[in-house]
Amino acid sequence: MNQPLASHNESSASGRAAYPVTDRVQEALAVSLRGCEELIPQDEWVRKLARSEATGQALRIKLGLDPTAPDIHIGHTVVLNKMRQLQDLGHQVIFLIGDFTTMIGDPSGRNSTRPPLTREQIESNAQTYYKQASLVLDPARTEIRYNSEWSDPLGARGMIQLAAKYTVARMMERDDFNKRFKGGQSISVHEFLYPLMQGYDSVALKSDLELGGTDQKFNLLVGRHLQQEYGQEPQCILTMPLLEGLDGVDKMSKSKNNYIGITEDANTMFAKVLSISDDLMWRWFTLLSFRSMSEIDALRREIEGGRNPKDAKVLLAKEITARFHSAAAADAAEQDFINRSRGGVPDEIPEVSLDGAPMGIGALLKSAGLAPSTSEAHRLIEGGGVRVDSAVVSDKGLKLSAGTYVVQVGKRKFSRVTLR
């Protein structure tokens, strides 16, 4: 942490009153930093937290999401979880639905212009967004806003005035714009409007902190710049990493079929969490669990001391399932998983020990004699005919870490595989 602010009677170098950094402020900072990629600038965030603690004035924390699709998967909830943690500290969280910015289309991370959605598509998607986000946030303490509230009235004159506050040179520092320009790929003028309008959202909402994924860093920094241009105290920004999907390699995505949708049934959700690798489990604990880091560290020590990693994975699966369904549904999903495991596996099955962990699922099936070749193993996976510990394997790139697994191919081929 940067140099603490000693007393509310002192002044900071910028002339703003400084406030004491109490234990509660330190705890709030630790909550902010948990799992985050960057907190910029950290010393300003500490100052804001200390001021809030001393004055009792809640900070305004903003998260904007464009309703580009009707459903949210748990990868999207990484930033929502952070919002909930800050909300539980007493701060005002603002869930911003980007109904105006969605019409532009966010170019972040893209190598081509993204086709904008129609107003009808946007409105249809927006209807479900907040309902799903409310499974993480506390609806009674969440401010819901739509950026069309201030963007539509801005008009042509206001848009020109806003555009005058940012330079083309600064815009071209953005990585995806720079790469496309150098590669001779087209960049539409309206794409420059996206970071400007997202930044203007921060001006309209007078946000103290804006959250986003690592791919949103440029847009969040534009918000800081525009707030200064409009005479406001600039927001701090907090970026969260993009969650790896079930395969533990690529970011969670419906297109890669490595996701868990938050509206999936409890049994499927529970089984999918149990299908992740032991290594990925700890990253998911940090980014998705509401358990304290001290609890997670204690659990990790138990696993390292010999406790079965599956015990920890069950705890994570039950927590996530309960959040999006209920505690009773999570208990029932666990029992369903146990029943299927017991009922579907013969009492005596071949046992195989293999070296080379972590091992890809295709190589494992071939080495264990469950498939004649890796290509055939991949075909079986594509057909939904492979299960590991009763969970259907959908990702051909799945890697299994050291441990013991019950692997099933089709209805009758089983093997208890121990990877070393």
Domains of the chain, each with CATH number or no CATH: 58-240 (3.40.50.620), 244-344 (1.10.240.10), 346-420 (3.10.290.10)
Q: Residue 343: its pLDDT value, please?
A: 56
Three-state secondary structure call for residue 354: strand
Cβ atoms of 88 and 108 closer than 8 Å: no
pLDDT, tens digit (0-9, with 9 covering 90-100), for 182-210: 888 887 777 888 889 899 999 999 999 99
User: Cα-flanking dihedrals φ and ψ of residue 405, to 5°?
Assistant: -135, 145
Cβ atoms of 246 and 281 closer than 8 Å: no
315: left (phi over 0), alpha (psi -120 to 50) or beta: alpha
The runs of H, that is alpha helices, within 34-167 are 42-55, 77-88, 101-104, 119-133, 148-151, 155-163
Q: How far apart are CA 173 and CA 196, in angstroms?
A: 14
Cβ atoms of 232 and 200 closer than 8 Å: no
Which of 243, 330, 225 minimizes the C-alpha distance to 288? 243
Q: Residue 5: its pLDDT value, please?
A: 33
Where is 304: in which H helix or E strand?
Answer: helix 293-304
Q: What's the residue count for the chain? A: 420
- Strand 351-354, strand 413-419: pairing: parallel
Which of 395, 277, 271 minimizes the C-alpha distance to 341? 271
Residues in the chain predicted with pLDDT less than 50, given as ranges, are 1-15, 109, 111-112
Q: Residue 229: its pLDDT value, please?
A: 94
Q: Residue 210: its pLDDT value, please?
A: 97
Position of tokens 């002044």?
Answer: 11
Which of 188, 195, 175 minimizes the C-alpha distance to 98? 195
Q: How far apart are CA 305 and CA 111, in angstroms?
A: 47
Q: How far apart are CA 11 and CA 111, in angstroms?
A: 47
409: left (phi over 0), alpha (psi -120 to 50) or beta: beta
Which of 13, 5, 105, 101 minimizes the C-alpha distance to 46? 5
Where is 406: in which H helix or E strand?
Answer: strand 403-409
- Strand 92-97, strand 359-360: pairing: unpaired
Three-state secondary structure call for residue 187: coil
Q: Residue 346: its pLDDT value, please?
A: 61
> What tokens were used for 348?
């005596």
Q: Among positive and negative, which fits the CA dihedral 105, 79, 223, 230? A: positive
Which of 41, 134, 48, 56 minimizes the C-alpha distance to 90? 56
